[in-house]
Structure 1
Amino acid sequence: MHRVSVRVDDTLYDRLNRRAVGADLSFSTFIRSILAQAADPRGRYIYSSQDEVLGISIQILTLLATSIGAGSPEILERGMGDARAILRERGLLDPEQDR
């Protein structure tokens, strides 16, 4: 097996690490899966992480609970804010895209 060393800046490392944690994988396993995906001769997306499904589930459940709790637009907006906060904490929402 070959060893590959790559230097990345702190911001990229933090983003990759959050994705690895969100997928319940070690950093090395996550990076190997990304490299395998990039080298797939068929060009298919071969890695499916759990964090995308989790992110959608959090959004749906937060909206459902908020909607059932009270049918007002103000509470719905507050629920969306809560969902964004949860996604941000898990590294599933890029702070730059959270506008």
Structure 2
Amino acid sequence: MRRVSVRVDDTLYQRLQRRALGSNLSLSDFVRSVLVQAADSRGRYIYSSQDEMLGIAIQILTLLATSIGEQSPKLLERAMLDAKAVLRERGLLDPEQDR
């Protein structure tokens, strides 16, 4: 097995560590999985299908949040706090955005 060494700045390193923790993986295993996706043998661009799915999910969640917000603003506020808690637990919420 070959070894690859990569230097990253502290901010990126911390973000990678949070994502690895949120995925319940070691940092090495997490980075290895990202590299495997980037080197897809079928030549697919690793983000295209994920971006499409994310776009659809955002549209659906926006419609749902709008509907809930019109019916019960307090319920929407509680749901947003719960969502932030889940994202924070999984290391997916940037501390700078957690305000």
TM-score bucket of the superposed structures, by smaller chain: 0.5 to 0.7
CA offsets 1:45-65 (integer angstroms, 9 cap, x no match):
5xxxxxxxxxxxxxxxxxxxx
Cα distance between partner residues in 1 of 2:79 and 2:36: 38
Q: Any gaps of 5 or more consecutive residues in structure 1?
A: 46-66
- Indicate the SS of the match to 1:25: coil
| 1:1-99 matched pairs, under 5 angstroms | 1-44=1-44, 45=46, 72-94=72-94
User: How many percent of aligned residue pairs carry the same amino acid?
Assistant: 72
- Structure 2, unmatched stretches of 5+, are 47-67
Q: TM-score, normalization: structure 1?
A: 0.59
Task: Identify the structure with the greater helix proportion.
Answer: 2
- Please provide the CA RMSD for this pair: 3.0
TM-score scaled to structure 2, two decimals?
0.59
Q: Which has the higher contact order (CA 8 A, sep 6+)?
A: 2
